[in-house]
Copies of this chain bind each other. A is one copy, B any other.
Amino acid sequence: MLSLDLLKEISLKTPTKIVLIVMDGLGGLPNPTTGKTELEIARTPNIDSLLPHAICGLIDPVSPGITPGSGPGHLALFGYDPIKYNIGRGVLEATGINFDLKPGDVAARGNFCSVDDKGLITDRRAGRIATEKNAELCKMIDGMTIQDVKVLCAPVKDYRFVAVFRGSGLYPDVNDTDPEITGVAPLPLKAQTPAATKMASIAAEFVSRAKAILAKQTPANMILLRGFSVPPKMPTMREIYKVNPIAIASYPMYRGLAKLVGMEVVDTGETVQEEFATLKENYGKYDYFFLHIKGTDSSGEDGDFTRKVKNIEQVDTALPAVIELKPDVLVITGDHSTPAMLKAHSWHPVPVMLSSNWCRTDNKDKFSETNCRTGEIGRMPTENLMTLMMANALKLNKFGA
Protein backbone atom coordinates (compact mmCIF):
# COMPACT_ATOMS: atom_id res chain seq x y z
CA MET A 1 0.00 0.00 0.00
CA LEU A 2 1.19 3.55 -0.74
CA SER A 3 2.34 5.48 2.28
CA LEU A 4 0.90 8.87 3.12
CA ASP A 5 4.50 10.17 3.09
CA LEU A 6 4.87 9.16 -0.53
CA LEU A 7 1.60 10.87 -1.45
CA LYS A 8 2.80 13.99 0.36
CA GLU A 9 5.88 14.03 -1.85
CA ILE A 10 4.02 13.75 -5.13
CA SER A 11 0.86 15.76 -4.42
CA LEU A 12 0.49 19.12 -6.16
CA LYS A 13 -1.40 22.28 -5.34
CA THR A 14 -3.62 23.06 -8.34
CA PRO A 15 -6.81 25.06 -8.92
CA THR A 16 -8.75 21.91 -9.94
CA LYS A 17 -11.70 20.90 -7.80
CA ILE A 18 -12.81 17.55 -6.39
CA VAL A 19 -16.37 16.89 -5.16
CA LEU A 20 -17.01 13.70 -3.17
CA ILE A 21 -20.69 12.94 -2.53
CA VAL A 22 -21.10 10.25 0.10
CA MET A 23 -24.54 8.67 0.31
CA ASP A 24 -24.19 6.98 3.68
CA GLY A 25 -24.87 3.24 3.44
CA LEU A 26 -25.43 3.47 -0.35
CA GLY A 27 -24.78 -0.20 -1.22
CA GLY A 28 -27.75 -2.52 -1.08
CA LEU A 29 -29.05 -6.04 -1.63
CA PRO A 30 -31.63 -7.15 -4.20
CA ASN A 31 -35.24 -7.05 -3.14
CA PRO A 32 -36.58 -10.60 -3.63
CA THR A 33 -39.61 -9.28 -5.54
CA THR A 34 -37.69 -7.40 -8.21
CA GLY A 35 -34.20 -8.89 -7.95
CA LYS A 36 -32.89 -5.32 -7.87
CA THR A 37 -31.14 -3.26 -5.21
CA GLU A 38 -32.24 0.15 -3.95
CA LEU A 39 -29.79 1.87 -6.31
CA GLU A 40 -30.88 -0.32 -9.21
CA ILE A 41 -34.56 0.55 -8.69
CA ALA A 42 -33.92 4.26 -8.14
CA ARG A 43 -34.37 6.53 -11.16
CA THR A 44 -31.07 8.40 -11.42
CA PRO A 45 -31.03 10.20 -14.80
CA ASN A 46 -28.69 12.95 -13.63
CA ILE A 47 -26.09 10.62 -12.15
CA ASP A 48 -26.38 8.44 -15.25
CA SER A 49 -25.79 11.45 -17.51
CA LEU A 50 -22.24 11.51 -16.12
CA LEU A 51 -21.48 7.89 -17.06
CA PRO A 52 -20.15 8.56 -20.58
CA HIS A 53 -17.26 10.29 -18.83
CA ALA A 54 -17.03 8.07 -15.79
CA ILE A 55 -15.52 4.87 -14.48
CA CYS A 56 -17.23 2.62 -11.97
CA GLY A 57 -16.35 -0.04 -9.47
CA LEU A 58 -17.02 -1.69 -6.13
CA ILE A 59 -14.98 -0.61 -3.13
CA ASP A 60 -14.21 -2.29 0.19
CA PRO A 61 -13.99 0.19 3.08
CA VAL A 62 -11.91 -2.11 5.30
CA SER A 63 -11.47 -5.51 3.67
CA PRO A 64 -13.75 -8.03 1.92
CA GLY A 65 -16.29 -9.35 4.41
CA ILE A 66 -15.72 -6.67 7.04
CA THR A 67 -18.66 -4.48 8.07
CA PRO A 68 -17.33 -1.02 8.91
CA GLY A 69 -18.57 1.49 11.42
CA SER A 70 -18.88 5.10 10.25
CA GLY A 71 -15.35 5.93 11.42
CA PRO A 72 -13.44 3.39 9.30
CA GLY A 73 -15.85 3.91 6.39
CA HIS A 74 -15.08 7.62 6.18
CA LEU A 75 -11.37 7.50 7.01
CA ALA A 76 -10.93 5.08 4.10
CA LEU A 77 -12.77 7.53 1.81
CA PHE A 78 -10.42 10.29 2.96
CA GLY A 79 -7.43 8.10 2.00
CA TYR A 80 -6.40 6.81 5.42
CA ASP A 81 -5.77 3.18 6.39
CA PRO A 82 -8.90 2.52 8.47
CA ILE A 83 -7.21 -0.19 10.53
CA LYS A 84 -4.11 1.83 11.36
CA TYR A 85 -6.17 4.91 12.22
CA ASN A 86 -8.94 3.35 14.23
CA ILE A 87 -10.90 6.01 16.08
CA GLY A 88 -12.37 5.14 19.44
CA ARG A 89 -16.01 5.80 20.18
CA GLY A 90 -15.24 8.35 22.88
CA VAL A 91 -13.20 10.49 20.52
CA LEU A 92 -15.73 10.09 17.72
CA GLU A 93 -18.58 11.35 19.90
CA ALA A 94 -16.47 14.19 21.31
CA THR A 95 -15.39 15.48 17.93
CA GLY A 96 -18.97 15.10 16.71
CA ILE A 97 -20.20 17.69 19.22
CA ASN A 98 -17.28 19.99 18.56
CA PHE A 99 -15.70 19.24 21.92
CA ASP A 100 -12.24 20.76 21.90
CA LEU A 101 -10.04 17.79 22.85
CA LYS A 102 -6.55 18.71 24.13
CA PRO A 103 -3.43 16.55 23.85
CA GLY A 104 -3.49 14.01 26.68
CA ASP A 105 -7.28 14.00 27.03
CA VAL A 106 -9.03 10.65 27.19
CA ALA A 107 -12.64 10.63 25.97
CA ALA A 108 -15.33 8.06 26.74
CA ARG A 109 -18.83 7.76 25.43
CA GLY A 110 -21.43 7.73 28.21
CA ASN A 111 -24.98 6.43 28.43
CA PHE A 112 -27.38 7.58 31.08
CA CYS A 113 -29.05 4.36 32.18
CA SER A 114 -31.49 2.93 34.75
CA VAL A 115 -30.53 0.57 37.57
CA ASP A 116 -32.75 -1.08 40.20
CA ASP A 117 -32.16 -0.96 43.95
CA LYS A 118 -29.66 -3.81 43.70
CA GLY A 119 -27.67 -1.85 41.12
CA LEU A 120 -28.67 -4.13 38.22
CA ILE A 121 -29.26 -2.45 34.87
CA THR A 122 -32.94 -2.31 33.89
CA ASP A 123 -32.56 -0.02 30.85
CA ARG A 124 -29.21 0.73 29.18
CA ARG A 125 -30.67 3.92 27.66
CA ALA A 126 -32.83 5.16 30.54
CA GLY A 127 -35.93 5.11 28.35
CA ARG A 128 -34.11 7.20 25.72
CA ILE A 129 -34.45 10.41 27.76
CA ALA A 130 -34.67 13.69 25.84
CA THR A 131 -31.53 15.63 24.97
CA GLU A 132 -32.74 18.49 27.27
CA LYS A 133 -32.91 16.12 30.25
CA ASN A 134 -29.49 14.76 29.27
CA ALA A 135 -28.09 18.32 29.36
CA GLU A 136 -29.48 18.86 32.88
CA LEU A 137 -27.96 15.60 34.13
CA CYS A 138 -24.61 16.39 32.48
CA LYS A 139 -24.48 19.66 34.41
CA MET A 140 -24.89 17.69 37.67
CA ILE A 141 -21.88 15.47 37.02
CA ASP A 142 -19.74 17.89 35.00
CA GLY A 143 -16.52 19.40 36.31
CA MET A 144 -15.46 16.97 39.06
CA THR A 145 -11.85 17.03 40.17
CA ILE A 146 -10.41 13.62 41.07
CA GLN A 147 -6.76 13.77 42.10
CA ASP A 148 -5.22 16.01 39.40
CA VAL A 149 -7.82 15.02 36.82
CA LYS A 150 -10.72 17.17 35.69
CA VAL A 151 -13.74 15.26 34.34
CA LEU A 152 -15.76 17.19 31.75
CA CYS A 153 -19.20 15.99 30.67
CA ALA A 154 -21.21 17.19 27.70
CA PRO A 155 -24.49 15.99 26.21
CA VAL A 156 -24.58 14.45 22.72
CA LYS A 157 -28.14 13.36 21.93
CA ASP A 158 -30.94 11.53 23.77
CA TYR A 159 -29.25 9.42 26.49
CA ARG A 160 -25.71 9.76 25.08
CA PHE A 161 -23.03 12.01 26.52
CA VAL A 162 -19.27 12.41 26.41
CA ALA A 163 -16.94 12.24 29.42
CA VAL A 164 -13.50 13.74 28.90
CA PHE A 165 -10.74 13.06 31.42
CA ARG A 166 -8.12 15.82 31.47
CA GLY A 167 -4.97 15.40 33.57
CA SER A 168 -1.52 13.84 33.55
CA GLY A 169 -0.61 10.22 32.88
CA LEU A 170 -3.94 9.04 31.50
CA TYR A 171 -3.98 6.10 29.07
CA PRO A 172 -7.17 4.79 27.48
CA ASP A 173 -6.61 1.04 27.87
CA VAL A 174 -9.50 0.35 30.22
CA ASN A 175 -12.59 -1.76 29.63
CA ASP A 176 -16.15 -0.58 28.91
CA THR A 177 -18.43 -0.58 31.95
CA ASP A 178 -21.41 -1.20 29.66
CA PRO A 179 -22.11 -4.97 29.72
CA GLU A 180 -24.43 -4.47 26.69
CA ILE A 181 -27.16 -6.49 28.40
CA THR A 182 -29.68 -5.75 31.16
CA GLY A 183 -30.21 -7.62 34.43
CA VAL A 184 -26.59 -7.35 35.49
CA ALA A 185 -24.51 -4.66 37.21
CA PRO A 186 -22.25 -2.32 35.23
CA LEU A 187 -18.79 -3.87 34.84
CA PRO A 188 -16.04 -2.72 37.20
CA LEU A 189 -13.28 -0.66 35.59
CA LYS A 190 -9.99 -2.43 35.08
CA ALA A 191 -6.71 -1.35 33.53
CA GLN A 192 -5.86 -3.51 30.52
CA THR A 193 -2.25 -2.37 30.57
CA PRO A 194 -0.12 -1.29 33.57
CA ALA A 195 0.02 2.27 32.17
CA ALA A 196 -3.75 2.59 32.45
CA THR A 197 -3.95 1.94 36.21
CA LYS A 198 -4.49 5.62 36.99
CA MET A 199 -7.15 5.97 34.27
CA ALA A 200 -9.04 2.98 35.66
CA SER A 201 -9.07 4.26 39.23
CA ILE A 202 -10.05 7.81 38.24
CA ALA A 203 -12.85 6.55 36.01
CA ALA A 204 -14.06 4.19 38.77
CA GLU A 205 -14.19 7.09 41.23
CA PHE A 206 -16.06 9.19 38.65
CA VAL A 207 -18.65 6.45 38.12
CA SER A 208 -19.06 6.01 41.86
CA ARG A 209 -19.57 9.75 42.48
CA ALA A 210 -21.92 10.02 39.49
CA LYS A 211 -24.00 7.16 40.89
CA ALA A 212 -24.33 8.98 44.22
CA ILE A 213 -25.24 12.27 42.54
CA LEU A 214 -27.85 10.67 40.24
CA ALA A 215 -29.30 8.29 42.88
CA LYS A 216 -32.63 10.14 43.23
CA GLN A 217 -33.13 10.76 39.48
CA THR A 218 -35.73 8.86 37.45
CA PRO A 219 -35.31 7.06 35.12
CA ALA A 220 -31.63 8.00 34.58
CA ASN A 221 -30.00 7.10 37.90
CA MET A 222 -26.67 5.72 36.67
CA ILE A 223 -24.10 5.96 33.88
CA LEU A 224 -22.32 3.49 31.60
CA LEU A 225 -18.99 4.28 29.91
CA ARG A 226 -17.46 2.79 26.81
CA GLY A 227 -14.87 3.44 24.11
CA PHE A 228 -12.18 5.16 26.19
CA SER A 229 -9.90 6.63 23.57
CA VAL A 230 -7.45 9.34 22.54
CA PRO A 231 -7.41 11.15 19.20
CA PRO A 232 -5.23 9.24 16.73
CA LYS A 233 -2.12 11.04 15.62
CA MET A 234 -2.66 11.52 11.94
CA PRO A 235 -1.47 13.94 9.29
CA THR A 236 -4.17 16.23 7.90
CA MET A 237 -5.49 16.05 4.35
CA ARG A 238 -4.02 19.50 3.85
CA GLU A 239 -0.55 18.17 4.73
CA ILE A 240 -0.77 15.03 2.62
CA TYR A 241 -2.72 16.18 -0.42
CA LYS A 242 -2.14 19.98 -0.37
CA VAL A 243 -5.88 20.41 -0.78
CA ASN A 244 -8.06 22.96 0.96
CA PRO A 245 -10.86 20.66 2.12
CA ILE A 246 -14.34 21.48 3.33
CA ALA A 247 -16.98 19.22 4.85
CA ILE A 248 -20.68 19.79 4.24
CA ALA A 249 -22.55 17.48 6.59
CA SER A 250 -25.45 18.03 8.93
CA TYR A 251 -24.87 15.12 11.33
CA PRO A 252 -22.42 15.72 14.19
CA MET A 253 -20.42 12.49 13.82
CA TYR A 254 -19.48 13.15 10.20
CA ARG A 255 -18.59 16.74 10.96
CA GLY A 256 -16.37 15.36 13.73
CA LEU A 257 -14.70 12.86 11.44
CA ALA A 258 -14.00 15.58 8.89
CA LYS A 259 -12.46 17.76 11.58
CA LEU A 260 -10.14 14.94 12.67
CA VAL A 261 -8.53 14.92 9.22
CA GLY A 262 -8.28 18.70 9.15
CA MET A 263 -11.26 19.73 7.02
CA GLU A 264 -13.05 23.02 7.48
CA VAL A 265 -16.58 22.29 8.63
CA VAL A 266 -19.32 24.79 7.73
CA ASP A 267 -22.91 25.13 8.82
CA THR A 268 -25.46 23.72 6.43
CA GLY A 269 -29.11 22.60 6.36
CA GLU A 270 -30.70 19.20 6.80
CA THR A 271 -31.81 18.64 3.19
CA VAL A 272 -29.82 17.61 0.15
CA GLN A 273 -30.77 20.91 -1.57
CA GLU A 274 -29.44 22.89 1.38
CA GLU A 275 -26.20 20.93 1.40
CA PHE A 276 -25.75 21.48 -2.34
CA ALA A 277 -26.50 25.20 -1.85
CA THR A 278 -23.77 25.32 0.80
CA LEU A 279 -21.43 23.70 -1.72
CA LYS A 280 -22.25 26.40 -4.29
CA GLU A 281 -21.70 29.22 -1.77
CA ASN A 282 -18.29 27.88 -0.82
CA TYR A 283 -17.24 26.68 -4.25
CA GLY A 284 -14.73 29.45 -4.88
CA LYS A 285 -12.92 29.07 -1.56
CA TYR A 286 -12.00 25.37 -1.46
CA ASP A 287 -10.79 22.67 -3.83
CA TYR A 288 -11.94 19.47 -2.07
CA PHE A 289 -15.58 19.10 -1.05
CA PHE A 290 -16.92 16.27 1.09
CA LEU A 291 -20.72 16.13 1.09
CA HIS A 292 -22.41 13.73 3.43
CA ILE A 293 -25.99 12.52 2.86
CA LYS A 294 -27.42 10.71 5.88
CA GLY A 295 -30.87 9.67 4.64
CA THR A 296 -29.78 6.59 2.67
CA ASP A 297 -28.25 5.02 5.78
CA SER A 298 -31.18 5.82 8.08
CA SER A 299 -33.74 4.32 5.72
CA GLY A 300 -31.49 1.30 5.18
CA GLU A 301 -31.18 0.76 8.92
CA ASP A 302 -34.95 1.07 9.24
CA GLY A 303 -35.34 -1.66 6.60
CA ASP A 304 -37.32 0.80 4.47
CA PHE A 305 -36.37 -0.18 0.91
CA THR A 306 -38.77 2.28 -0.70
CA ARG A 307 -37.59 5.23 1.38
CA LYS A 308 -33.98 4.42 0.59
CA VAL A 309 -34.85 4.43 -3.13
CA LYS A 310 -36.44 7.87 -2.61
CA ASN A 311 -33.39 9.13 -0.70
CA ILE A 312 -31.20 8.18 -3.64
CA GLU A 313 -33.62 9.82 -6.08
CA GLN A 314 -33.59 13.02 -4.00
CA VAL A 315 -29.84 13.24 -4.43
CA ASP A 316 -30.19 12.63 -8.14
CA THR A 317 -32.89 15.28 -8.49
CA ALA A 318 -30.76 17.87 -6.72
CA LEU A 319 -27.58 16.90 -8.55
CA PRO A 320 -27.78 19.40 -11.45
CA ALA A 321 -26.82 22.10 -8.91
CA VAL A 322 -23.51 20.27 -8.50
CA ILE A 323 -23.03 19.31 -12.15
CA GLU A 324 -23.42 22.91 -13.31
CA LEU A 325 -20.42 23.87 -11.16
CA LYS A 326 -18.38 21.59 -13.47
CA PRO A 327 -16.04 20.12 -10.84
CA ASP A 328 -12.92 18.54 -12.35
CA VAL A 329 -13.65 15.34 -10.47
CA LEU A 330 -17.07 14.28 -9.22
CA VAL A 331 -17.37 11.05 -7.24
CA ILE A 332 -20.57 9.46 -5.96
CA THR A 333 -20.30 6.58 -3.53
CA GLY A 334 -20.99 5.47 0.05
CA ASP A 335 -18.98 4.86 3.21
CA HIS A 336 -20.35 1.29 3.42
CA SER A 337 -23.46 -0.65 2.43
CA THR A 338 -26.67 -0.57 4.48
CA PRO A 339 -29.04 -2.91 2.64
CA ALA A 340 -32.66 -2.38 3.65
CA MET A 341 -32.95 -6.18 3.49
CA LEU A 342 -30.43 -6.46 6.36
CA LYS A 343 -31.50 -3.35 8.35
CA ALA A 344 -27.86 -2.76 9.28
CA HIS A 345 -24.44 -1.76 8.04
CA SER A 346 -23.02 -4.60 5.99
CA TRP A 347 -19.85 -5.95 4.43
CA HIS A 348 -21.01 -5.70 0.81
CA PRO A 349 -18.68 -3.71 -1.41
CA VAL A 350 -19.92 -0.21 -2.20
CA PRO A 351 -20.75 1.08 -5.69
CA VAL A 352 -18.65 4.04 -6.79
CA MET A 353 -18.53 6.23 -9.88
CA LEU A 354 -15.83 8.74 -10.70
CA SER A 355 -16.40 11.24 -13.45
CA SER A 356 -13.67 13.46 -14.87
CA ASN A 357 -12.28 14.74 -18.14
CA TRP A 358 -9.35 12.40 -17.84
CA CYS A 359 -10.88 9.00 -17.22
CA ARG A 360 -11.82 6.32 -19.69
CA THR A 361 -15.43 5.22 -19.85
CA ASP A 362 -17.18 2.01 -18.87
CA ASN A 363 -20.01 2.57 -21.38
CA LYS A 364 -22.62 1.93 -18.69
CA ASP A 365 -26.08 3.45 -18.86
CA LYS A 366 -27.09 3.22 -15.19
CA PHE A 367 -25.27 3.64 -11.88
CA SER A 368 -25.87 0.29 -10.13
CA GLU A 369 -24.09 -2.43 -8.17
CA THR A 370 -24.39 -4.74 -11.18
CA ASN A 371 -22.79 -2.27 -13.60
CA CYS A 372 -20.13 -1.28 -11.05
CA ARG A 373 -19.08 -4.94 -10.84
CA THR A 374 -17.60 -4.78 -14.33
CA GLY A 375 -16.30 -1.21 -14.32
CA GLU A 376 -12.70 -0.09 -14.69
CA ILE A 377 -12.25 0.62 -10.99
CA GLY A 378 -12.84 -3.08 -10.44
CA ARG A 379 -12.99 -4.16 -6.82
CA MET A 380 -10.64 -1.98 -4.85
CA PRO A 381 -9.97 -0.89 -1.27
CA THR A 382 -11.85 2.34 -0.58
CA GLU A 383 -8.56 3.73 0.73
CA ASN A 384 -7.29 3.96 -2.87
CA LEU A 385 -10.15 6.18 -4.02
CA MET A 386 -8.57 9.40 -2.75
CA THR A 387 -5.47 8.80 -4.87
CA LEU A 388 -7.63 8.11 -7.91
CA MET A 389 -9.54 11.36 -7.35
CA MET A 390 -6.29 13.29 -6.95
CA ALA A 391 -4.93 11.77 -10.17
CA ASN A 392 -8.06 12.62 -12.14
CA ALA A 393 -7.80 16.20 -10.84
CA LEU A 394 -4.18 16.24 -12.11
CA LYS A 395 -3.04 16.84 -8.55
CA LEU A 396 -0.36 14.12 -8.46
CA ASN A 397 3.14 14.17 -9.85
CA LYS A 398 4.85 11.15 -11.34
CA PHE A 399 6.32 8.63 -8.89
CA GLY A 400 9.91 7.64 -9.60
CA ALA A 401 12.25 8.61 -12.39
Question: B-contacting residues of A (Cβ < 8 Å)?
Answer: 1-3, 6, 10, 29-30, 35, 37, 58, 62-73, 82-83, 86-89, 92, 227, 341-342, 345-349, 358-363, 369-370, 373-380, 384, 387-392, 396-401
Contacts and interface: CB of A to CB of B under 8 A. Distances in A.
Given A2-B63, A37-B360, A64-B384, 6 more contacts: A35-B361, A63-B387, A65-B390, A67-B399, A362-B373, A373-B374
A251 B367 CA distance: 45
Contact of A69 (B341, B391, B400): B400
B379 A376 contact: yes
A57 to B, nearest CB: 8
A370 B360 CA distance: 9
B376 A360 contact: no
27 contacts: A1-B63, A29-B360, A62-B399, A62-B400, A64-B388, A65-B389, A65-B390, A65-B392, A66-B387, A67-B398, A67-B399, A68-B398, A68-B399, A69-B399, A69-B401, A70-B401, A71-B400, A87-B400, A92-B401, A342-B358, A347-B388, A348-B359, A363-B370, A373-B374, A377-B379, A378-B378, A379-B380
Contacts of A345: 398
Contacts of A63: 1-2, 384, 387
A294 B346 CA distance: 35
B358 A399 contact: no
A324 to B, nearest CB: 21
A401 B71 contact: yes
A380 B381 CA distance: 11
Contacts of A376: 58, 349, 373, 379
Contacts of A397: 67
Nearest to A88: B401
A222 B288 CA distance: 42
A89 B369 CA distance: 43
B83 A6 contact: yes
B401 A67 contact: no
Contacts of A358: 29, 341-342, 346
A372 to B, nearest CB: 9
A72 B6 CA distance: 14
Q: What are the nearest 6 A-B pairs in CB distance?
A: A378-B379, A65-B387, A65-B391, A69-B400, A89-B401, A72-B400
A320 to B, nearest CB: 23
A362 B30 CA distance: 11
A374 B6 CA distance: 31
A379 B377 CA distance: 8
